[in-house]
Amino acid sequence: MGIWTFDIFKLYLKFRCSNRTDLENLGGYNLYETAVNAAYLALTTKKQIYQVKLNLRFPELETTDATTGTATVDGIATIATATTAVQIIDVYDSTNSVSLDWIPLKRYLDYTDRYDTSAEGKPGEWTRSGGYIYLHPTPDDAYTMYQYYRKRPTLLSGTNATVIGAEWDEPILELATHKIHMWNHEYEKAKFIKEEFIDMVVGIMGMYEAEETSRKEHFRPAPGLRDPGRR
């Protein structure tokens, strides 16, 4: 969980922007608040920002609707995705205790029995398009489906901190600063801030990659094959 609260983010951001007070009320909106939340959402929902591909996994944002689930309807091929879902990770049929297989949307569209009422049954596959999950075969009864998904974080306010690690506080501030400079057409300042942001993110990603590497088994000669004359 982040250390800086939303109020601290705004305070630091205002300082980074030369303590401009005019940005605190633009038509009733606080630009500092808007920039911080825009940066937070961009970092946690985009796969790429500028030249940096963010192949990041935030376990804090992975959740499920298993407390309620979604019931299928006989003859209806779709269920609505969870309200805050950015990415659907898995779909589980709790009625039949089975995890459904993901398929590409193109394969689903190629099925000629999608609207064939005589071909309905227990869904075994799923794909997503827009705000809906498409099931195949089309359900022939009510089955409770649980969605496991990556959610969009709640916007920050007041004394709230981010739900992701504190190591991301500074990059969020840097990205928010960049956004304000871009909105104000201060491109030279924005260019410098962008480079700082990229350096921060690459450094953190390198730390994550090192952690992943440390978990892998590397090839080593078996003890019996080592040179007995060397230690």
Q: Quick one: tokens of 50? A: 């500028």
How confident is the model at residue 211, as a pLDDT? 56
Residue 133 buriedness (CB in 10 A; 0-12 / 13-18 / 19+): buried
Alpha carbon distance 147, 73 (integer Å): 16
How far, in Å, are 121, 166, 170, 222 from residue 99 at the CA level? 15, 34, 39, 40
How confident is the model at residue 212, as a pLDDT? 58
Helices (H), the chain: 6-16, 31-45, 105-110, 169-183, 187-214
Q: Quick check: bond before 223 cis, omega within 30?
A: no
How confident is the model at residue 214, as a pLDDT? 54
How far from each other are the two terminal CA atoms of the chain, in whole angstroms?
45
Alpha carbon distance 91, 164 (integer Å): 24
How confident is the model at residue 217, as a pLDDT? 54
Alpha carbon distance 180, 178 (integer Å): 6
Domain boundaries, the chain: 6-58+164-214, 61-151
Alpha carbon distance 83, 131 (integer Å): 9
How confident is the model at residue 55, as a pLDDT? 73
Backbone φ, ψ for residue 147 (5° rounding): -105, 130
List, in sequence order, every residue forming a beta bridge with 125; answer none if it has no partner. 101, 136
pLDDT in tens, the chain (231 residues): 999 999 999 999 999 999 999 999 988 999 999 999 999 999 999 888 887 787 778 999 999 998 889 999 999 999 999 999 999 999 999 999 999 999 999 999 999 998 888 899 999 999 999 999 999 999 999 999 999 999 999 999 999 999 999 999 999 999 999 999 999 999 999 999 999 999 999 888 876 665 555 555 555 545 554 445 544
